[in-house]
Amino acid sequence: MSHFLNELTLTMTTTSSSTATSPSPLFSFHNNHHHPPRQHLSFLHLTRRRFIPLSQHQSTHHHPSNDVVSSPSLPKPLSSTNCLTPASDGPRLRVAYQGVSGANSEAAAETAYPNCEPVPCEQFDTAFQAVERWLVDRAVLPIENSLGGSIHRNYDLLLRHNLHIVGEVKLPIRHCLMANPGVKIEDLKRVLSHPQALAQCEHTLAKFGVTRVAVDDTAGAAQFVARNKLEDAGAVASAAAARIYGLNILAEDIQDDPDNVTRFLMLARDPIIPEPTSIVFSLAEGPGTLFNALAAFAMRKINLIKIESRPLRKGNNGSSKIFDYYFYLDFEGSTADLNAQRALSNLEEFATLLRVLGSYPADTKDM
């Protein structure tokens, strides 16, 4: 596999701060080469008789909320050509996550796969690509937060990429306000963090009278403040990020609601067959179509856990209308269950698209 890896352009991260620790390489793909010769299962399109591969779709971009002052992305890492050891050659699972060392996603990866080798990636899309290109074994990415709601970007990427959901993990999120040594809260004029983190700490930050600045991720904000030795800016990130980048914690647990939990999905190239199951489908326009779709499960007494809608991109699925939607649905049961198979076959009769995203073990531990 090394001949394949030699053709990829990777990105290495460096830091000028004496207190910061350089994380592992961040993957940043700059070209499209052929996949390695090993075969793997693609996402599945359900038919009444068999599963067949489904083509990819384009994704949309997430935009920060209007009340957050946006800034350019964190400084891009230096580019260099590097050859990595293939994932299958090492004793530890290599798990991709979005962000840099100290991110909550890194903690989720280590919770999902203890003793793994966490691999930071610049963007969510890069983590998907890293799994598809056999650079890592798994990816762990956020899908929803108990306060901020769904991570729409990752719903779109689930449809665009050929990976399977094989598990989930729920992580309590504890935000800290941090700054360089010697800087006090009253010195701060702005605070950097991910838009979701800023929204989750909105009331606390308003009391401090600081300007909120949206950047790519929480730990990246801490790294940026430390690297540039800022004296008028702080970051909202994890306690681990403060420790890694040598920042002082000025305030702990600054989230507005103590019940702040993020649900992460574990993604792999190959599926497994436990439960629950996640699917995505679209419907033709008409009265009662969504009712009929949900009735396919209700009449078989299959419990629905969650339903989420996302805009169907213009031109996808043969439709040019605006305000058409994909529906993402989680239900109790696996595709190995005859009852679930019948429900999906029933849904497939009138769905314009139906795709199984994965069956996986639910995270049922108390938060």
- Which positions are annotated as active-site residues? 262, 264
CB atoms within 10 A of CB 367: 10
SS3 44: strand
Region of 320 (left: φ > 0; alpha: ψ -120 to 50; beta: rest) is alpha
Alpha-carbon radius of gyration of the chain: 22
Q: 10 Å Cβ neighbour count for 216?
A: 20
Alpha carbons 317 and 313: distance in angstroms, whole number? 9
Angle at 162 between CA 303 and CA 291, to 5 degrees: 30
Cα-based angle 139, 144, 150 (whole degrees, multiple of 5): 120
Q: Distance between CA atoms of 170 and 181, rounded to whole angstroms?
A: 33
Q: Angle of helix 289-298 relative to helix 338-348, nearest 10 degrees?
A: 170
Report CA torsion sign: 147, 153, 155, 158: negative
Report the alpha-carbon distance of residue 237 to residue 105 in Å, rounded.
11
**Residues sharing a CB contact under 8 Å with residue 114, sequence separation 6 or more, in sequence order:** none
Task: Write out the E strands in the chain.
Answer: 10-12, 44-46, 51-53, 69-70, 78-80, 94-98, 117-121, 138-145, 149-150, 164-172, 176-179, 190-193, 211-214, 233-237, 248-251, 261-268, 272-283, 304-311, 325-331, 351-359
What's the gap between Cα 329 and its chain centre? 17
Amino acid, res. 186: E
CA distance linking residue 269 with residue 161, whole number of Å: 10
